[in-house]
Amino acid sequence: MSTGVKIAIGCGAALVLLVLVLIVAGVAGGLFIKNKAEDFAGGVEAQEEASETIRNLEEEHPFTPPSDGLVSDDRAATFFEVTDDAWERMEEGMQELAERGEEIEESGDEAGFGDVMAGMRGLGQSRVVLAQALDDNEMPVSEYLWTGLVLMRAYENLDRPAEESGVPVANLEIAADHRAELAELSDGGDDGTADKSTVFGMAWTWGMSEEAVQTMGWDTLGQYAP
């Protein structure tokens, strides 16, 4: 698996939360989760509407990665707007979940049932607000993921000559202009805390569940392709 994919699916707290949810969900029992989904998965109706929003964005704004692999200034700006909008809406809940996870780890205890419900609710609500942010900015999740990976690749190569890294100069210039924001996405979450890298991790769960990653144009991502 390439560095880029590891970044996408391993973004800090998002990965920790997702793994926790999958593990405890199996322990809790599928029937209970089905009956209580309205309480701790962000609401069945809200989840269905969010999923429909993601699909509609892919249909109404079909994304084809440019053959030259260049990110335009305006789409880069939209990428950061989506990230900021989604993080503003989910930050409080994600911080609470990160603190809960840290307490569990420090105590050495297993996650209780309240932790299960909190994790499921947090994951569900975060996916909903991300779908809303993507819709507000008219950016399909496939384009969001592709743009993020291209920009993070450029960020990681800022200190190398362009001819050596193979990254287009235009992408390096955009990455340099957004160095601080990309640092949060590419380097964040290493200590288990919740930060903006969580948004990108959530986007990856949408991309996988709605099969949007299949249209992302991996051939334009160089070493970031799986």
Instruction: Give the pLDDT confidence of 164-194 residue by residue, as tens digits.
Output: 888 999 999 999 999 999 998 887 655 556 7
Residue 13 has pLDDT above 50, yes or no: no
> What is the residue range of 170's domain?
3-224
Lowest mean pLDDT among 60-64, 147-151, 195-199: 195-199
pTM attached to this predicted model:
0.75
Residues 6+ apart with CB under 8 A from 120: 21, 25, 33, 40, 41
Residue 37 has pLDDT above 70, yes or no: no
Residue 31 has pLDDT above 50, yes or no: no
Number of domain units in the chain: 1
What are the b/e assignments for 182-218, b being 16+ CB within 10 Å?
A: bebbbebbeeebbbbbbbbbbbbbbbeebebbebbbb
Per-residue pLDDT, 115? 54
Rounded mean pLDDT, 96-124: 61
Sign, CA dihedral 29-30-33-34, equals negative
Rounded mean pLDDT, 48-61: 92
As a whole number of angstroms, the distance between CA 31 and CA 117 comes to 14
Per-residue pLDDT, 79? 98
Per-residue pLDDT, 140? 95
Residue 72 has pLDDT above 50, yes or no: yes
